[in-house]
Amino acid sequence: MIEVKQATKIFSSKQGPAINSVSFDVKNGEVVGFVGLNGAGKTTTIRIAVGVSLPTSGTVLIDGHDMTTEKAEASKSVGWVPEIPNFEPNAKAWMLMRYLAGFYGIDRTEATKRSKELLASVGLSGFENRKIRTYSQGMKKRFSLGVSLLSDPQNFLLDEVLNGLDPEGIHFFRELMRGQKRVNKAILLSSHILTEIENIADRIVFIHRGHVIKTVTREELRAHEGIKGVLRIILQNPDEDAISYLKTLGGDLQVQRNEIVLSDFHGDSSQVNAELVRKGIPVREIKYEKTGLEEYFFDLIKGADARR
């Protein structure tokens, strides 16, 4: 569990605080989205939470251990993937991972074995002997994820990890987060794009100009009247059976040849797909989009700015 309590960071007395009395928590088995514009304070908060930056005031508790005063103990159960991973560029991947494993008390033989396994599990099999400087940004993120998994930590802090990844990479990270959530891990996932994390986060903490301006659950977000889900399905043969099933899902249904658009949809698109397949209705394509999320986000920001 991650608890951020009244965290404030002032880099320079000439400027205002980068974050000011930021408080939120991430419970075990929960994915919390941390959303804000660039410069809102997401990375500053995460850096304080993982112990690479010191708070000017406030505390961060990791499984009850203060990251400032009990750094070594708190860091044991933290996995951090920064937006731009920055490792020793001239080190070979598996050797660097083995070196970092030493900090977790993992013996050399075990560290070597685990490093190679983790590199394979994050899709870097065959690249173990390459130097980090030869890695692409996506590979560095995968490597960073592998390092964060070294100690099988209880808590993950993922800073803009989906940024700059190809679709396969995004899918990989999403699946990994779902898997970790299933085993009761606490995950904080930051992004400046709400739509990117809306469908994976259980809660979303909005931060703007160093202040937490709103925390909403996924249900609260979906229930917001301005936010609508649009499900686009292309069927090979949109027959009566298919139409009558889709009508039961609620919302406005429009049929244009073999494309069916279901507006104001709030369900799970994967379940719809599964049901259609079960009914023997061939699905060519199924796509779920949300409208109004960005507007919601900008309204929050405008409201916060107006209050200041």
Q: Least separation, in Å, of the C-beta of 191 and other proteins?
A: 20
Residue 80 or residue 265: which is nearer to other proteins going by CB? 80
- Measured in degrees and rounded to the nearest 5, phi and psi for residue 282 equal -65, 125
Burial class of residue 8 (count of CB atoms within 10 Å of its CB; 0-12, 13-18, 19+) = middle
| Count of residues engaged in binding other proteins, rule: CB under 8 A | 28
Residues 66-125 contacting other proteins, CB under 8 A: 71-73, 75-76, 78, 80, 82, 85-90, 99-100, 102-105
Q: Which residue has the tokens 């100009």?
A: 209
Radius of gyration, alpha carbons of the chain:
22
Give the DSSP H or E segment for 186: strand 186-191
- Please report whether residue 147 would count as binding other proteins according to CB under 8 A: yes
- The Cα-based distances of 111 to 119, 132, 278 in angstroms read 12, 18, 46
Given the complex with other proteins, which of 132 and 233 has the nearer CB atom?
A: 132
Decide whether 50 or 161 has the Cβ nearer to other proteins. 50
Contact 192, 179 (CB under 8 A): no
Whichever of 87 and 135 has its CB closer to other proteins, that residue is: 87
Nearer to other proteins, 105 or 250 (CB): 105
DSSP labels, 92-128: BHHHHHHHHHGGGT--HHHHHHHHHHHHHHTT-TT-T
306 sits near other proteins (criterion: CB under 8 A): no
Who's near 13: CB < 8 A, 6+ residues apart? none
Distance between CA atoms of 173 and 167, rounded to whole angstroms?
10
Q: How far is the CB of 121 from other proteins (least distance, A)?
A: 19
State the minimum distance, in angstroms, from the CB of residue 12 to other proteins.
12
Question: Between residue 14 and residue 53, which ones bind other proteins under the rule CB under 8 A?
Answer: 47, 50-53
| Min CB(71)–other proteins separation in Å | 5
Q: In the complex with other proteins, which residue's Cβ is closer, 61 or 255?
A: 61
Provide the minimum distance between the beta carbon of 116 and other proteins in the complex, in angstroms, as a whole number.
18
Min CB(54)–other proteins separation in Å: 6
Tell me how far apart the alpha carbons of residues 8 and 56 are, in angstroms, rounded to a whole number. Answer: 6
List of residues contacting other proteins (CB under 8 A): 47, 50-54, 71-73, 75-76, 78, 80, 82, 85-90, 99-100, 102-105, 147, 151
